[in-house]
Amino acid sequence: MTTKVAVIGSGNIATDLMIKILRLSDTLEIAAMAGIDPDSDGLARARRLKVATTHEGVDGLLRMDEFADVSLVFDATSAGAHRRHDALLRAAGRTVVDLTPAALGPYVVPPVNLTDHLDAPNVNMVTCGGQATIPVVAAVSSVTPVHYGEIIASIASRSAGPGTRANIDEFTETTSSAIAKVGGAARGKAIIVLNPAEPPLIMRDTVHCLVGDCDEGAVTAAVEEMVGRVQAYVPGYRLKQKVQFDRVAADDPLRGLLPPDAVAGGALRVSVFLEVEGAAHYLPAYAGNLDIMTSAALRTAEHMAAHRAPEVSAR
């Protein structure tokens, strides 16, 4: 038994997600793709792959015969558009997996809180940078309190479609919030860099966590274990070097981000450097940002479907 799903959007993220569902999922069946550009590559590919399409967006999707059998809808458009989409889809009784930074529903980062929101009508996949880095923040915070977490996500400019570019502010706000709410940091900050280098560079992510004195071996072990959990669904996710620990000097401005009682025994900056190579289902392997976002959404949807229909087992 499979669960029928639809994808709203026909850009990079939506097209990669469609291909992943078709190639990788034994429990989800894509019934339709809805876009607004009749000439988009995503809709053209969908038609070639025998997926029903509409270029009239969510309104067209709601009118499609195929929509009657759809239980879950992925939204891969923009934060602004998602607010209307969510209202219409909730009214129609459909579950929504949101790949925009709108954050109307609870955040889900699979290796951290996959099972926490399986009954929610709308779940938010944060951002590509959040999916890559929040697991690391959560790993560090599982060992020692993280008083400040900062992430820098660098992605190839070619992999950032119009939706990503239109949502830069929402990216930083949503990711910063999720660093705290899911990652466990007291405060969070996110930075995104669209790297125009040619040839395009693979996605790189840097995570900095400010902590008090801690067991460095335990932190390293927690981070390495978490990397393995992400690799279970994103094989191209990896550490670029060993976890770094730097003592924060007494006159370092970073110390001001820590509460006084947290640094009585010393203050450390934990730095983790990551690389995310994509599976090249749609864009080339440099687009790890697509791969980690769509892989996380697919994993989440499969578990939501299995939870709601126990006879369907998640892979």
The DSSP output letter for 36 is S
CA 213 from centroid of its chain's CA atoms: 31
Q: Using the structure block, give the residue that is written with the tokens 């009118």.
A: 63
Q: Give 222: exposed, middle or buried? Use CB within 10 Å, 0-12, 13-18, 19+.
A: buried
Local confidence band at 312 (pLDDT 50, 70, 90 cut-offs): very low
Q: Is the pLDDT of residue 314 over 50?
A: no
Residue scoring higher pLDDT (222 or 255): 222
* pLDDT score, position 264: 60
| Alpha carbons 160 and 141: distance in angstroms, whole number | 30
Q: Is 266 annotated as a binding residue?
A: no
Homologous superfamily, domain 3-126+292-308? NAD(P)-binding Rossmann-like Domain (3.40.50.720)
Q: Does 164 count as an annotated binding residue?
A: yes
Residue 213 has pLDDT above 50, yes or no: yes
State the number of CA atoms in the 13 A half-sphere of 6 facing the CB: 30
147 CB-near residues (< 8 Å, 6+ apart): 185, 186, 187, 210, 211, 212, 257, 258, 259, 262
Range(s) of the chain covered by CATH 3.40.50.720: 3-126+292-308
160 labelled binding-site residue: yes
Q: In CATH, what number does 128-286 get?
A: 3.30.360.10
Strand (E) positions, 182-266?
Answer: 188-195, 203-212, 237-239, 244-247
Residue-level pLDDT at 151: 98
What whole-number distance in Å separates Cα of residue 60 and Cα of residue 23?
26
Q: Are 311 and 1 in contact (CB under 8 A)?
A: yes
Query: Quick one: which of 237, 232, 253, 161 has its CA closest to 205?
Result: 237
pLDDT of res. 164: 86
CB 177 within 8 A of CB 188: yes
**Catalytic, out of 128, 201, 223, 258:** 128
- Residue 289, annotated as binding a ligand: yes
The continuous run of DSSP H or E covering 165 comes out as helix 162-166
Q: Respond yes or no: is residue 209 known to be catalytic.
A: no
Average pLDDT rounded to a whole number, residues 111-130 = 97
71 is in an annotated binding site: no
Confidence (pTM) = 0.94
Q: In the prediction, which pLDDT does 262 show?
A: 64
- 99, pLDDT greater than 80: yes
